[in-house]
């Protein structure tokens, strides 16, 4: 029995893509909201006591990343299924 190389290629690539998206998401703090390109930081004005807000530019990958990993990885996994023909 011989497994089609294209099947292996697509399935392997699907797993790699999903793992990469998941890794980027986890490395970025596993943000469960949307992707952000800036994050708020607060500081207190000593005189007035007002808590000021500043935004710092920072990329925080959101839930789109694992979602995209599942969608694209799943798509490639299914595409790979079309090459399932096995030869004896």
Alpha-carbon span 65 to 41, nearest angstrom:
24
67 in contact with other proteins (CB under 8 A): no
**Among residues 55 and 75, whose Cβ is nearest to other proteins?**
55
70 in contact with other proteins (CB under 8 A): no
Q: Environment class of residue 62 by beta-carbon count within 10 Å: exposed (0-12), middle (13-18) or buried (19+)?
A: middle
62 in contact with other proteins (CB under 8 A): yes
55 in contact with other proteins (CB under 8 A): yes
Q: Which residues, in sequence order, are bridge partners of residue 55?
A: 40
Q: How many chain residues bind other proteins (CB under 8 A)? A: 22
């Amino acid at each position: 029995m011989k497994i089609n190389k294209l099947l292996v290629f697509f399935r392997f690539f699907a797993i790699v893509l999903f793992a990469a998206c998941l890794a980027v998401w986890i490395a970025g703090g596993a943000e469960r909201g949307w992707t952000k390109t800036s994050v708020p930081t607060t500081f207190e004005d000593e005189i007035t006591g007002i808590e000021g807000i500043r935004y710092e530019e920072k990329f925080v990958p959101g839930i789109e990343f694992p979602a995209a990993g599942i969608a694209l990885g799943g798509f490639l996994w299914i595409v790979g299924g079309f090459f399932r023909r096995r030869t004896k």
